Each structure stands twice: as C-alpha cells, then as structure tokens.
Amino acid sequence: MSFVTHLECSATGEHYAADTLHNLSRAGKPLLVRYDLEAARAAVTRDAMDARPTGLWRWRELLPVRRDENVVSLGEVETPLITIPRSSGGNVLVKDEGRLPTGSFKARGLVMAVAMAKELGVRTIAMPTNGNAGAALAAYAARVGIETIVFCPEDTPEVNVREIAAQGARVWRVNGLIDQCGAIVAEGAAAGRWFDFSTLKEPYRIEGKKTMGLELAAQLGWRLPKAIFYPTGGGTGLIGMWKGFAELEALGWIGPERPRMYAVQASGCAPIVRAFEEGVEHAERWEDAHTVAAGIRVPKAVGDFLILRAVRESGGKALGVGDPAILKAVDDCAKKDGLLLCPEGGATLAAYREALRTGEVDEDEEVVLFNCATGLKYPMPEAPWTLDRTQPIDWDRL
C-alpha cells in the first residue's frame, strides 16, 4: 500500500496532483513525492519492517506505486556493507551497489520510475545516459513492454552500449556530453515523441534511490553513520537519501542525527564542488568535462541546488579528486581488500583518504562509501604474462 498524497515543487513548494504524469514543475524544478507519514506510521511499525524479507520492495509504504500489479522486479536485493580496512586506513564500510540487477545502483531509481511509468500509462521513454542508467532502463522497460530510446556520449564504454542494445532499447551514440544528449531528449519530448526520463525530470527515480538510505539505517540497527561519501553526477541518490532520512525520523524510526554528506566529484568535472566553494545555490555548467569516472561526468545537474542544500545542511562538503587518485584507490582496494570498485566508487575512497589526511574525518568515525556499480563493467589493467609449458620453467620468477 502506498501513502502518497501529492507531489511538491522542490523550489516553490507548489503542490501537484499525484497519480498524474509530470515532468518538472512549472518553475522548471524537480518534483518531490510527499506521503501521509502519520498514516504510514500507524500502518507499519519498525519491528514489522525488520521482520520482512530484505530487498527494495520491502519499503512499499514509503514508495509511490499504488497497485501490486504494477510492481516491477528483477530481484533488487539489499546490498551488503563491506569493510575495507587495509585500503581505507579508517573505520569504513562500502555499500556495494554492484550487486543489484544490471550491476549498478541505477537499478533502484529506474525500477521505480518504470513501475510508475507503467502505472501511469507511458508507452515510449527516452533518456540520456553515461551508461549504467541506460542499461537499467532498458532492462526494466523490456520487462514491462515499454518502448525505449537511449542517447549516450560517443565515448560511453562499449560494454554499456552493447548492454543497452541487448536488452531491447534503441541506443544512439552522440557527439557530445550527457547534458547535450539530454537536450535531444527534451526536444523529442516537446514534439510528443516520447516521455522524458532524464535525471530528476520525472519524480520517481528519487524514490527508488532513497531506498539506499532506508536500507542503510536498517542495516546499522536504525542509526546512521557519521559520514557518507557519495559519487555525485546528477546527485539523485544523495538527494533521495537525505529525503529518506527525514521520512524515517517522521515515522519515529530514527532520531534527528544525520551523517555529514560528502558529494564526491572528479576534478575534471566538478560543478558542484565549485558551487559549494563559491557559496552559491546553483552550479554553472562545467566546460571541457573529462574523467575516467564516466558516471559522474555530468557538466550540469538539474538538481544542483538540492545536492548543495543537503550537503550544507548536513555539515558536509563537496570534494573533488583527480583521476590518478581515483585509479590508485580502485587498484589498492582490489589488491589489498579484494573488492573491485568501479571508478566512481574509487572516487569516494580517494576522497575519503584525502579527507582523512586533512582531518576532515577522523579515522575512528564510522563512514560509508557508495560503490555505485560492479567494477567488472569497466576496463581493467592488462595481465600480459604467459607461460610456455614446453620450455624450462623459471620457478623463482613465478
């Protein structure tokens, strides 16, 4: 059962009807889903939630889908918290989102958005992507029979492009960055060709992504860590978790304490970092965006002010890290702790290490890093050694 009451403009507070198809508000800002949390509190207790099987759809009372027949699933598990003591140097847990369907945390947002698209009668969807979001959309849209068109930058990793195509979407490489792909989607939507599924241009991806925060609270015994380091491109997950924490407090399931939220970006594409440091509410577009962490190469985020608001309210920061530090973090975590991070996850470890060095965090503080996708989807260093079994073997070299 869902307790949705209405949608609300994130900038003006203007209300919009639930159960109606929306993109942005009249002010051109993201819409947020609001719930009757008093009714939800009466309907389900924390103990009852603890007794349920884990997984994303465990949180039905705090999700927007009203009818059971519109629930979509490819097996969205509760992702584990993994220690990395040797590569982090601190009290760090990694929430490994690579265990989700299609191998990334994009599954959380897109399963919810597609379920609501099904509920609201959408027949054709288009979306820009740096890779993983397109793969998740293609999978869930195929599951429910919604036609899907995806536009991605021409240097999107080949594995992502092929994954999108293999799951039935029409995928087009574009000679531009993700926001330029988004402009094509917006133009087609304005012409009535499809519904625009761009990040934060529909209200429901946030609701799927907020389950990261709900899960985290439950996994830690209904408390929150001291800090969260989150790889930030469009920032949907950071915004969603911040919203989810407020909802859990309104239910009486957690107290008012919040983690410091660290929005982590690559120094080659860091519009949120620049805006944070300049003390402004909106981030200017980042020109010449480049980084090995393609998932956070977002030159201009629609929800920039929501990201910055959460970071500042929490007492956190926006942090930028360079590609060499990202790649070293990925390498160290794999070799020292056996966990293969994606580059975006490596960025959070690199940022944590720098925060530890500068005293921004203390090594005893419990910190959660988000690894947003399996490292298996990304290029890896060559392994060039070969052995000729017909020749004498140099055992010492082995």
- For residues 363 and 83, give the distance between their C-alpha atoms in angstroms, rounded to a whole number: 14
Q: What is the pLDDT of residue 1?
A: 75
Q: What is the pLDDT of residue 153?
A: 95
Q: For residue 231, what are the β-bridge partners? A: 264
Joined tokens for residue 363: 């090594």
- For residues 184 and 186, give the distance between their C-alpha atoms in angstroms, rounded to a whole number: 5
CB count in 10 Å sphere of residue 316:
23
Q: What is the pLDDT of residue 273?
A: 98
Write out the chain's pLDDT in tens, 398 residues.
789 999 999 999 999 999 999 999 999 999 999 999 999 999 999 999 999 999 999 999 999 999 999 999 999 999 999 999 999 999 999 999 999 999 999 999 999 999 999 999 999 999 999 999 999 999 999 999 999 999 999 999 899 999 999 999 999 999 999 999 999 999 999 999 999 999 999 999 999 999 999 999 999 999 999 999 999 999 999 999 999 999 999 999 999 999 999 999 999 999 999 999 999 999 999 999 999 999 999 999 999 999 999 999 999 999 999 999 999 999 999 999 999 999 999 999 999 999 999 999 999 999 999 999 999 999 888 999 999 999 999 999 99
Tell the residue number behind the tokens 């946030």, with chain if given: 206
Residue 6 has φ and ψ, to the nearest 5°, of -170, 175
- For residues 252 and 326, give the distance between their C-alpha atoms in angstroms, rounded to a whole number: 39
The enclosing H or E element of 31 equals strand 31-35
Q: What is the pLDDT of residue 239?
A: 97
Question: 3-state class of 389 per DSSP?
Answer: coil
Q: What is the pLDDT of residue 2?
A: 85
- For residues 369 and 146, give the distance between their C-alpha atoms in angstroms, rounded to a whole number: 34
Alpha helices in 191-303 (DSSP H): 205-209, 211-219, 236-251, 271-278
Q: What is the pLDDT of residue 186?
A: 96
Q: What is the pLDDT of residue 303?
A: 95
pTM over 0.85: yes
Whole-angstrom Cα Rg for the chain: 21
Q: Residue 159: exposed, middle, or buried by beta-carbon count in 10 A (0-12, 13-18, 19+)? A: middle
Strands, E assignment, 166-294 = 170-174, 195-196, 227-231, 260-266
Q: Residue 68: exposed, middle, or buried by beta-carbon count in 10 A (0-12, 13-18, 19+)? A: exposed
Q: In order of start, what are the domains of the chain with their CATH numbers?
A: 81-103+205-377 (3.40.50.1100)
